[in-house]
Amino acid sequence: MVISDNSNIEHIHRDFMFLMGQINRQWRRILNRKLQPFGLTEPMWLPLIHIARSPTQMCQKDLAASLSLDSSAVVRLLDVLESSKFVERVEGIDRRSKTIQLTTLGKSTAQLIDEQISKNRNPVLACVSEDELKNAFHVLERMAETLFSIERKDL
């Protein structure tokens, strides 16, 4: 697509973020439907996948930042996940902070979630070439970094 005049770029500027939001909502609705037979709702599967994919052990504040939620909402989520035996909170080096660890059930459930994500992601991304996908990913990474920077300034 070649943007040839200002009206096209203004249209793209106006609708870009809305389109990203719409795609995100549609994607999560699809995953919710696919994971419902396993008794998983978004407030359960989303934090599990964030914890499972984290390169380091997470504490509550890390999970809150990852999910863009406040700490009190994450406490409630963790209470549900802990009572469902998906996670456990383990005292860290500093007794004031606890790390969140997946239990055996949590790990197997996260694997099931990942399988469903992969299975349903592939048909969606099949309409995009590898180069287009790489370019789009780099653009979104830069936008995420900019948003993070803006958010930090506003704190």
Q: What tens digit of pLDDT does each residue of 76-114 get? A: 999 999 999 999 999 866 666 789 999 999 999 999 999
Half-sphere exposure of 109 (CA within 13 A, CB side): 25
Residue 5 located in a structural domain: no
The whole-number pLDDT of residue 38 equals: 93
Residue 115 located in a structural domain: yes
Among the listed residues 76, 75, 53, the one whose alpha carbon sits nearest the alpha carbon of residue 66: 53
| Whole-structure pTM value | 0.81
Residue 70 located in a structural domain: yes
Residue 22 located in a structural domain: no
Residue 4 located in a structural domain: no
Residue 102 located in a structural domain: yes
The whole-number pLDDT of residue 93 equals: 67
- Integer-rounded Cα radius of gyration of the chain: 19
Please give the average per-residue pLDDT across 4-19, as a whole number. Answer: 81
> How many folded domains does the chain comprise?
1
Host H or E run for residue 59: strand 58-59
Q: Which stretches of 85-140 are assigned E, i.e. beta strand?
A: 87-91, 98-102
The CATH number that applies at residue 149 is 1.10.10.10
The whole-number pLDDT of residue 154 equals: 77
User: Could you tell me the residue range of the domain that residue 90 belongs to?
Assistant: 41-154
